[in-house]
Amino acid sequence: MYKPVLMSSGEIRTRLRVSRQRIYQIVAHPGFPPPYQVLKLGKLWDSAEVEAWIRRHRPALAEAPHPPDRPEP
């Protein structure tokens, strides 16, 4: 049984290194993968689908190291 690793819009925003406003534009675009699940608190995406989208549409970021979730102390 497939168990996806899920990403929030905030995690996708960090991964793409874009602003909050820009991530809303990106995830609303018809070419972006649809959410895997929609909750009251927000939408969640399958990280494998997001990474595949990044490889196709942002190849420089596909090879770049992932930014940290939060700044180092």
Question: Domain locations in the chain?
Answer: 6-63
Q: Does residue 23 carry a pLDDT above 80?
A: yes
Element at 43 (helix H, strand E) = strand 42-46
Q: Where are the beta strands (DSSP E) in 1-73?
A: 6-8, 37-39, 42-46
Q: What is the pTM of this model?
A: 0.85
pLDDT digits (tens, 9 = 90+) for 27-49: 999 999 999 999 999 999 999 99
